[in-house]
Amino acid sequence: MKKLAIIGRPNVGKSSFFNRLLKERDAITSEMAGTTRDVKKRVATVLDREVEVLDTGGLDEGSELFDKVREKSIAAAKQADIILFMVDGKNLPIEEDKKLFHELEAMGKSMALVVNKIDNDKMKEKVWEYYEFGTQTIFGISVSHNRSINPLLEWIAKQLPYIPQAGELEAAEPDMMDEFDDLLDAYMEEDEEEGSIYDENDEMKESDEDPNHISVAIIGRVNVGKSSLLNALLGEERSVVSDVAGTTIDPIDETIERDDKTITFIDTAGIRKRGKIEGIERYALYRTRTMLERANLALLVLDASEPFRDLDEKIAGLIDENRLACMIVLNKWDKAPRDDYDKIVQQVRDRFKFLHYAPVITVSALTKQRIHKLYDMIIQINDNYSQRITTSRLNEALAFAMRKHPIPSMHGQVIRLYYATQYATRPPQIALIMNKPKGLHFTYRRFLANQLREAFNFEGTPLLFKAKKRGEK
């Protein structure tokens, strides 16, 4: 798939045009210079053609952070097939922009000069001033007023390969649906052979999500090393890393293929104490919560070189709130006391009891220590999170558990568990069909959960129970 990079100085409207291409508010936009710091990547459909759009940080100078942002933006331009060099039409052309435009033009890419903020007819004459850049591929637009956007979209579409529509593809490959039906029939026959004792009103609710696509949110407070961890996982400087707290503002993501799985890493904004959240970071916190709702698995990143904080607990609570699979990553292990492994892990277990199911791994994003192990653990945890236990095996395990420890009575009333069935995945959710659902004490739920964890591999995933009467939905 071809790549389109949007390049330009801060506050020229790059992220707004990025959102316009995606037809949604994905990138955070603000009047504050430097809102976009990392390169955001999303696939957009321009007319009838697909392209991967790269929203880059503003090309500015003056600090170490801005220098890193600029470096990332230029690197994105080198990777792209199409470059949109965007300028602010309310200002006069400057020599620095002209020089950079010619440097990018020398790369031999398809390139257009986009003069944004031409908000009305009177401002159209401003576009003429930019012809001194020496290009004829120039577009005067207004993203905020949605003016003159179509000619630019048409130009972009001409640079992209045509994608056959669904009807055309079906006509070209008439046997595709027959093959799919054969596979579906084979799957149904295999499922029937396993046998089941479902109640006629019980139904397995398959997740709409593809179990082979893992969305991994990297979450933690500021400066615990989330962006460094993402860079280490990808083996490249994908995120801007700086000692400035809150460097990552807009959650960014990167998708890779690994062992027949598609893994999308989301580097979320670091979370501060409520009283310290200012300005644009309020949007970042909201966006982080939104991204967690779409994630399957969370890497809770903690700083192993210093004591854990109450804020770490509160952030971990977001994982529990969203019922995500989880791994606890103790970063900066190269700076942690060498002989305190058992002590530190015990502190994690004591402090994050509600994430008791999450494995703990010690890493150093800086030295790449044990980073390679994270991939195998992510894939295994996703398999656990997505697994479906057949009703027969599930009830065998529960029968064994109840022989070890029968269900306690409630006010002298006998509590009976007739059978259990898994009704959803991601996370695994199990219905317990009982005579008196309210009589199931939470301590016995915990006992059953522990027994199932011994019988099946549910490491890294929450396990949810729903007690209900026969025939109850």
Residues making up the binding site for GTP: 8-15, 55-59, 116-119, 220-227, 267-271, 331-334
Known binding site: residues? 8-15, 55-59, 116-119, 220-227, 267-271, 331-334
Q: Residue 238: how many CB atoms within 10 A of its CB?
A: 21
Question: If we measure between CA atoms, which residue out of 287, 245, 271 comes closest to residue 19?
Answer: 287
Beta partners for residue 111, in sequence order: 83
What lies within 8 Å, CB to CB, of 248 at 6+ separation is: 37, 38, 226, 227, 239, 240, 267, 268, 269, 270, 284
Q: Which long-range contacts (CB under 8 A, 24 or more apart) does 256-264 make?
A: 258/375, 258/379, 259/375, 259/379, 260/212, 261/212, 261/213, 261/214, 261/379, 261/382, 262/210, 262/212, 262/213, 262/214, 263/214, 263/216, 263/375, 263/378, 264/213, 264/214, 264/215, 264/216
Cα dist. 418→194, 408, 463 in Å?
Answer: 20, 15, 20
Question: What is the distance between the alpha carbons of residues 269 and 433, in angstroms, rounded to a whole number?
Answer: 42
Beta partners for residue 417, in sequence order: 434
CA angle (369, 371, 374) in 5-degree steps: 140
E-strand stretches of 367-441 = 417-424, 429-434
**Is residue 161 reached through a cis peptide bond, with omega within 30 degrees of 0 on the bond before it?**
no
What lies within 8 Å, CB to CB, of 182 at 6+ separation is: none
